[in-house]
Amino acid sequence: PPWTPSFQAMESEISAVFASGEPEDILSKAFKLTVTREDICTLRPLGWLNDRIMNFYMGLLVERSKKEGYPAVYAFNTFFYSKLSSTSHKAVKKWTKGVDIFKHDVILVPIHLKIHWTLLVVDLREKTIKYFDSLGQKGDHICKTVLKYLEEESKEKRNIELTASEWTLHSMGTEEIPQQNNGSDCGVFVCKFADFISRDKPIVFTPEHMPYFRRKMVWEIIHQQLL
């Protein structure tokens, strides 16, 4: 495995990030994204994760998926779904220019619903579309919107008709996935749902893990390396 720092070294580094410096200091650059101290500070306890943190973390998951032994992952950016749902396939057609999303195993769609983060996951191996909400709301209409998008994308990009009846759409119930116990951890839940799914691992974390996950994400984003 890649080198991992000691717990103490990580902790002191993370504390230093939060403690000093200017909000506009650039702490990480990758995936055409620039992450500032102000962005990183949304990972403080009870902070609201912003688009840049979400998209950067999705970028790290996609990078990792290129390694041996991981499912191939494609992640849409956090602005994709709001654009798709308010317009049409035509408006987002160029977002996948030069990419065949159907060559992947898993497609992650992080979703920003005004003041809440959720995640939609397409598994192309199993033909499932699942919706993960740490507040337990159903997203059946979101699943349908994305299936329709996949049908149009498939027809347009590779001239193949998807058979909608072969697909299973499901909103995960509160007994199936962990639920947040405060009003601010939804973004971390989405990142960790995506992390476990992109390793084909069962989702076994709990709300108690959130403070640790937040700190770990600070280190991972700054070092551009998932632990």
Q: Is 133 considered catalytic here?
A: yes
The rounded distance, in Å, linking the Cα atoms of 150 and 154 is: 6
| Active-site residue, from 39, 112, 133, 191 | 133
Q: Is 186 considered catalytic here?
A: yes
Q: Is 41 considered catalytic here?
A: no
The rounded distance, in Å, linking the Cα atoms of 96 and 139 is: 24
Q: Identify whether the C-beta of residue 14 lies closer than 8 Å to the C-beta of residue 1.
A: no
| Active-site residue, from 112, 186, 191, 195 | 186
| Active-site residue, from 51, 89, 105, 116 | 116
As annotated, the active-site residues are: 116, 133, 186
